Amino acid sequence: MKTISGLLLFLFFHSAFAETAWEKYLENPTPKQAALVNKVEASDQGNAGGDSELQILQNQVLAQDSEAFQLAYRLYKSSDGGLAEDLGALLARTIRAHPQFFLQQIALLKVPCTKLAWVLNTPGLEYTDRPNAKNYEMNMRKKALRGVQTRELADIRDLCIKEFRGD
C-alpha cells in the first residue's frame, strides 16, 4: 500500500512540475505569464494548440493585453501550417476591433508592415466562399486603420495600409 501511495504521489508531483509555460499561461492568462511563453507545447503532446486554447489567447489579445499580442506574434513567427494560419487570423481580428492598439503593438515590436502582409490580408476561415463578406471585411479593416489619427502612428498606419492587396 505504501508503494502505491508513493507512486501516486510521485505521479501527481511529476505531472504538476511537467506543466509547460504554455499550459501555465492557459491556466492563468496574465500578462506576466504571457511574457514567459515562447512556444505552444503541452506536457501531453496530443493536446497542444487546440482551438479552445487559442480562444483563450484571442480573448486576451482582443482585451488589448499587450503581452498577449506579443505572445501571439512570437508564436505566429515560430509556427507553421495550420497553427501559423490560426495565429495570423487571431492577430488580424485585432485590426478592425482595435486598430490603434494593433498599430501600437506593431510599433512596439518594430515589425515592418511588409512582414504582416499575410496577417493584414487574411480574412479568416469564416469568409471562405463568401467573397462579398471578405471584401467588406478588408474594406472595414482599411477604414479602421485610416481612422487612427495619432501622429506617432501615422507612418506605420500608412505603411500597413499599403500592404493590403489592391492598394
Tell me the three state secondary structure of residue 20: coil
pTM comes to 0.83
**pLDDT digit string (tens) for 4-53?**
655 455 445 544 555 999 999 999 999 999 999 999 988 875 555 566 88
Burial of 95 (0-12, 13-18, 19+ CB in 10 A): buried
pLDDT given at position 52: 81
Alpha carbon of 31 to those of 24, 44, 61, 131: distances in Å? 12, 24, 10, 37
Write down the pLDDT at residue 80.
86
The confidence score (pLDDT) of residue 158 equals 97
Query: pLDDT digits over 85-112, tens only?
Result: 999 999 999 999 999 999 999 999 999 9
- CA quadruple 41, 45, 49, 52: dihedral, nearest 10: -120
Q: Using one digit for the tens of pLDDT, what is the confidence trace for 120-165?
A: 999 888 999 999 999 999 999 999 999 999 999 999 999 999 999 8
Domain ranges of the chain: 2-162
In this prediction, residue 167 has a pLDDT band, given cuts at 50, 70 and 90, of very low
| pLDDT score, position 63 | 97
Quick one: pLDDT at residue 47?
A: 53
Which residue, among 63, 65, 67, 39, has the nearest Cα to 53 in the 3D structure? 39
